[in-house]
Amino acid sequence: MKTCAHKHSHEKQEMPALTERLRKQSRKITGPRAAILEILRAHPHPLTNKEIFSELPKGGCDLATIYRSMHLLEKMGMVKRFDFGDGTARFELIQEGDDGHHHHLVCTECSEVVEVEECFPEKIEQQIAAKNGFKSVTHKLEFFGVCPDCQR
């Protein structure tokens, strides 16, 4: 197995660098956007829109603003969307130039999330593609199980 080329590895991105990424694409640094980036910067794992909203100061913005901001940040390549099979989108900040490709192990009891560093070798993707006549194959994969704490 290879290791995914994901640069997140819990390194916190500096706010000036994040706001500069917005400015480069002619986007305003609004109060809510700056607050959302700060919340995402502080968390090593993907968050839902509601989790982000709950961490904002009361009256900072409404939930619709969070949804719009996350859509914009995803479109700009600043966050990556993850689906853990429960129909709720989760978002994680990614560094500039990173595609955010990595996997997670999610506890089905307490929802703890662990980043998985290993990834499938490209050869397996190529074999699956060739066998089925596909090209440009990529994958998204999340693992689910019961964490050590919930096994007690």
* pLDDT tens profile 128-147: 999 999 988 887 778 889 99
> Could you read off the pLDDT of 67-108 as tens digits, one per residue?
999 998 888 888 888 888 788 899 988 876 566 677 778 888
Q: Which domain holds residue 20?
A: 2-151
Closest CA to 1 of 110, 90, 117: 117
Structural domains counted in the chain? 1
Helices 15-24 + 31-42 axis angle, to 10:
130
Rounded to two decimals, the pTM is 0.64
The winner for highest mean pLDDT among 13-17, 34-38, 116-120 is: 34-38
> Could you read off the pLDDT of 33-73 as tens digits, one per residue?
888 989 998 888 889 999 999 999 887 789 999 999 999 88
Find the CATH number of the domain harbouring 61: 1.10.10.10
